[in-house]
Amino acid sequence: MIDPFGRTVSYLRVSVTDRCDLRCVYCMSEDMTFLPKAEVLTLEELDRLCGAFIELGVEKIRLTGGEPLVRKGVLGLFRSLGARLGEGGLKELTVTTNGTQLVKMADEIRAAGVRRINVSLDSLDPATFTALTRWGKIEPTLDGIFAAKAAGLDVKINAVAMKGVNEGEFDRMLAWCGEHGFDLCLIETMPLGEIGGDRTDQYLPLSVVRARLRETWTLEETDYKTGGPARYFTVKETGRRIGFITPLTHNFCESCNRVRLTCTGMLYMCLGQDDSADLRRVLRDPSVDQAGLRDAILEAIGRKPKGHDFVIDRRRQAPAVARHMSVTGG
């Protein structure tokens, strides 16, 4: 699939649920109203949609949420998509999770064909973790991370950088990741959805963070890629990598290779734009066959915009887009 600007779309992020067992302050408001079941695609419908994308050339699928692992029966979707790895056209199946369910599910996730996972962990301090998640305890996430490692999964830690919240922890987190064999990826906060706070108070440019880290660590440039937007450096002292996702200070739109499918079947061609395509309507139309579904996807890809409009500014209090990060999983 080629978009109007000549970019190959080969990466699909699929939100399997809008629900989560945590309430991270940059992702959700505290009192979320979740979708009624009738609006959410069944796992079989999600599987059919993913199949259509694979037929059109998608090589990487990442399951997200909400928290994807709280969706009942989701392991069946992992197994079905995992069966498409290799000769089925899919090159990688992966997941982003908060880690709370991994003690129970890590072995089965790996058995389905997943080899790499991302775990959201914004702080190693128990009190800060609870404050950021509004009620979570750090122990289930840490236990889940080590269960994933024991299952043979490569773990990357994702942390959203927030001014005055966790900005003093990144040296410690880098050392901890090095000690346990994890890569670390830092992410700038993004203006998605009303979260009940002022994002200008949270925003921390990663150019500042990188300069601070270089006072202690040797960060060597690398051409390592995972298919996502992060720019990676090798940490000489640990041999692991650190990535930086910078939608505001250095956006990655010119190389964007991905689209996002929500659990309701809405396809968003850009994280930072509201333009979308209703694939649930197409999917549930009995007169539309698989070829018609592929045509609907191609029509949507033909409307993929050149870039996003992310701005974080006190003069612009409203988020760039109204939907919460939990709708598309980042």
pLDDT digits 0-9 by tens, 239-271: 999 999 987 765 668 888 999 999 999 999 988
* Partner residues linked to 11 by β-bridges: 60, 258
pLDDT for res 200: 67
Number of neighbours of residue 194 by Cβ within 10 angstroms: 13
Which pLDDT score is estimated for 192? Answer: 54
What is the predicted pLDDT for the residue at 203? Answer: 87
Look at residue 297 and tell me if it is in a domain: yes
Our measurement of the distance from residue 122's CA atom to the centroid of its chain's CA atoms, rounded to an integer in Å, reads: 14
Which SS3 state, helix, strand or coil, does residue 193 take?
Answer: coil
In a domain, 2, yes or no: no
**What pLDDT is stored for residue 242 in this prediction?**
98
Residue 100 token pair: 């709370």
How many other C-beta atoms lie within 10 A of the C-beta of residue 42? 12
- Domain with 308, as residue range(s), is 11-328
Domain annotation covers residue 4: no
Model pLDDT, residue 235: 98
Residue 132 lies in a domain: yes
- Would the pTM of this model clear 0.85, i.e. be above it? yes
Residue 6 lies in a domain: no
Predicted confidence at residue 32, as pLDDT, reads 83
Number of domains in the chain: 1
The pLDDT assigned to 314 comes to 42
User: Is residue 305 one of the residues assigned to a domain?
Assistant: yes
Assess if residue 105 is contained within a domain. yes
Alpha helices in the chain (DSSP H): 43-55, 74-82, 102-111, 126-133, 138-150, 170-180, 199-202, 206-213, 279-283, 290-301, 325-328
Residue 3 lies in a domain: no
Q: Which residues of the chain have a pLDDT value below 50?
A: 195, 311-316, 318-320
pLDDT of residue 130: 97
Given the DSSP bridges, would you call strands 241-245 and 258-261 parallel, antiparallel or unpaired?
Answer: unpaired
CATH code for position 157: 3.20.20.70
